[in-house]
Structure 1
Amino acid sequence: MGHALCICSRSSIIIDNKRYYFIQKLDEGGFSYVDLVEGAQDGRFYALKRILCHDREGQKEAQTEVEMHRLFNHPNILGLTGHTFMERGGKNEAWLLLPYISKGSLWSVLEKLRDKSSSMSESRILHIFRGVCEGLKAIHDKGYAHRDLKPTNVLLEENDKPVLMDLGSMNKARIEVKGSREAMAVQDWAAQRCTISYRAPELFNVESHCIIDEKTDIWSLGCVLYCMMMLEGPYDLVFQKGDSVALAVQNPVAIPQHCRYSEGLQTLLSSIMVTNPQERPNIDWVLERVKSLQSSDGGAMETNRV
């Protein structure tokens, strides 16, 4: 890990002995900021994610995010170019240097379509969704779960290749809950780290003795598919109204009666968004169905699950 240095007079930073020039702010969240920077040596643009670490636990979480990036070398998962930890003004920060994808997130693309009263073609939905599934499969195959899959955490490259980002909520796929105290701890963690309108039903009311696994991602995946089809998440409006998302997710997802997409795509969506995680399909099943829909151009699907 290289030494980091802020050279304020020139608005530049050094990570792993390479200089980068600050260009502009891109985004900011509760505990992190994202800046656009340019490499002094290669002239390429990068996204610099600065995570504020308020305590040792915060530093540990940032280190985990770094390790998650390093764990994967997959075209549908955002890579890590470099990183460092440093102290600025008495505060600790983790700096993650990431590839910059100018097209932005899947959500920004969907918003533009909505503003134009347009929609996404079924073939485009399947193309993007397949890439999301490929990235998620890579995560699940290594025994991890993303835990915060949503359109804002999917970047799109120019050829519509999706790239999963924000690995800060990732953890081991299988969590065994033993007792009410552990159940409450998992529930509290989910409330902080898993976006409410994309959060799986089993994370709202965690049972005292249960297994939480990667099926939480499958539910979120269904929400992402719904959002691509309807240009808004299935529970976005519920949340915006101030109604109970926890209650809403206990019922089957409602597909609008005049949905413009094929019966095959609608069946896929209904098959993914099953309230009981034990009845939810795994990522391999979902990926196979997507491939089947692509090859049959939205034809009929089998309904048997793995």
Structure 2
Amino acid sequence: MGHALCICSRGTITIENKRYYFIQKLDEGGFSYVDLVEGAQDGRFYALKRILCHDREGRSEAQQEVEMHRLISHPNVLSLTAHTFVDKGAKCEAWLLLPFIRKGSLWSELEKLRDKNSVMPESRILHIFQGICTGLQAIHDKGYAHRDLKPTNVLLDEGDRPLLMDLGSMNRARIEVKGSREAMTVQDWAAQRCTISYRAPELFSVESHCIIDERTDIWSLGCVLYSMMMLEGPFDLIFQKGDSVALAVQNTVTLPESCRYSQGLQNLLTSIMVANPQERPDIYWVLNQLKHLQPTDTVQDTSMV
């Protein structure tokens, strides 16, 4: 794991016996910060994710995120370069060194298109979506689920290759719920770790005796596909207005009549976004359907009329 040393006056840190220079802050969340750092030896840029661990449980969760990165090695899942834990009295910080993807997230790309009053070409949607599905398959093949798939957790490199990130909510794919107490535990966990507007219907009101499986990711995957087609998630506006997302996800998701994408792509979306998890397909079915969709540029990345 290596030792960590912070020399604040020089803005230098050491992780696993390698030095990195602090460049600037990139992002800030509830319990984590992301900084841009430069490797002293290789001159490459990295994203340093610092997770604040207030207790043993927090440290255990950060360690779980490290383990998930170690478990999943795939071109469409963000890799972990190095990590360490920095003790700060009764608390500690987990430092995760990750590749810096300059282009940013899928969400930032959708925001740029929205600002230009443009749309994403169908061929580009299929290319990005294929990569997201392939990365998700790698996670499911290991018996895990991502649980917080959304456009902000998908990075795009310069070649538009998507990389799934933020593995902190990952856990075993199949969760067997036995009784109302366990159901409430799962429900409370989902409320904290699964973004509300991309959360699967079965996680809003967990049944007392059921099995939650990796098809929660398939619902979120559908929301991501919808966001690429419409430049916003299907439930983003409902959440922003303060209306009930829990009620909205029980209804059939439909695309507006003005949608200009192929019927095949629209059919794929509605096949994925099925409220009943038992009727929802798995990732292998989705990938198989993608084989039958031919890239088309009928919807161009130009200003909309």
Is 1:84 aligned to 2:84, yes or no? yes
Q: Quick check: 1:12–1:19 contact (8 Å CA) kept in 2?
A: yes
Which whole-Å CA distance do the structure 2 matches of 1:167 and 1:272 have between them?
Answer: 22
Structure 2 gaps of 5+ residues are: 299-305
Which residue in the other structure is 1:303 paired with?
Answer: none
Within 2, Cα distance between the matches of 1:4 and 1:59? 16
Any residues of structure 2 matched to 1:39-78 within 5 Å, and which? Answer: 39-78=39-78
Shift of 1:22: 0.2
Q: Distance in 2 between matches of 1:31 and 1:257?
A: 41
Alignment correspondent of 1:199: 199
Using the size of structure 2 for normalisation, the TM-score is 0.96
Tell me if the contact between 1:264 and 1:298 (Cα under 8 Å) persists in the aligned partners. no
The residue number in structure 1 matching 2:209 is 209
1:298 shift after superposition: 9.1
CA shift digits 1:140-180 (9 cap, x unpaired): 01100000000000000000000000000000000000000
2:55 maps to amino acid? D
Asked if the contact 2:55–2:90 (Cα under 8 Å) also holds between the matched residues in 1, the reply is no
Structure 1 position 291, deviation (Å): 2.0
Distance in 2, Cα, partners of 1:197 & 1:125:
21
Distance 1:121 1:53 in 2: 42
| CA distance 1:10–1:130, shift in 2 (3 Å) | same
Deviation >2 Å, runs of 4+: 88-91
State the partner residue of 2:235.
235
Contact 1:265 1:298 (C-alpha < 8 Å) held by counterparts: no
Deviations 1:220-245 (A, max 9, x none): 00000000000000000000000000
Contact 1:155 1:162 in 2 (8 A): yes
Maintained 8 Å contact 2:132/2:164? yes
Alpha-carbon distance in structure 2 between the residues aligned to 1:294 and 1:243: 37
Q: Which residue of 2 aligns with 1:173?
A: 173
Which residue in the other structure is 2:157 paired with?
Answer: 157
In the alignment, the residues of structure 1 paired with residue 8 and residue 250 of structure 2 have an alpha-carbon distance, to the nearest angstrom, of 52
Residue 48 of structure 2: SS of its match in structure 1?
Answer: strand
Q: What's the offset of the Cα at 1:98?
A: 0.3
SS at match of 2:271: helix
Alignment of 1:122-141 (within 5 A): 122-141=122-141
Which residue of structure 2 aligns with residue 142 of structure 1? 142
Secondary structure of residue in 1 paired with 2:169? coil
Paired with 1:103 and 1:294, the residues of 2 have a C-alpha distance of 26
In 2, Cα distance between equivalents of 1:88 and 1:7: 14
1:286 counterpart letter in structure 2 = V
TM-score, length of structure 1 as denominator length = 0.96
Partner of 2:261: 261
Identity of aligned residues (%): 81
2:302 match? none
Q: Are 1:29 and 2:34 counterparts?
A: no
What's the C-alpha RMSD, in Å, of the aligned pairs?
1.2
The aligned counterpart of 1:117 is: 117
Deviation of residue 88 (structure 1)?
A: 3.3
Aligned to 2:49, the other structure's residue is in SS state strand
For residue 67 of structure 1, give the secondary structure of its aligned residue in structure 2: helix
The residue that corresponds to 1:99 in the other structure is: 99
- Residue 9 of structure 1 and its aligned partner are, at CA, apart by 1.1
Q: CA deviation at 1:258?
A: 1.2
| C-alpha distance in 1 between matches for 2:161 and 2:8 | 36
The answer to whether residue 286 in structure 2 is matched with residue 282 in structure 1 is no
Residue of structure 2 equivalent to 1:302: none
Q: Which amino acid aligns with 2:129?
A: F
2:280 pairs with 1:293: no
Residue by residue, what CA displacement relative to the aligned partner does 1:247-274 show, whole Å, maximum 9, x if unpaired? Answer: 0000010210110100000000000000
CA distance in 2 between partners of 1:25 and 1:88 (Å): 21
In 2, distance between residues paired with 1:72 and 1:176? 23
Note the C-alpha offset of 1:87: 1.8
What CA distance in whole angstroms lies between the structure 2 residues aligned with 1:192 and 1:59?
A: 17
* Paired residue type of 2:14: I
What's the offset of the Cα at 1:90? 5.2
- Letter matched to residue 267 of structure 1: N
Q: Following the alignment from structure 1 to structure 2, what is the Cα–Cα distance between the partners of residues 87 and 141?
A: 35
What is the SS of the residue equivalent to 1:21?
A: strand
Instruction: Return the alpha-carbon distance in structure 2 between the equivalents of residues 90 and 210 of structure 1.
Output: 39
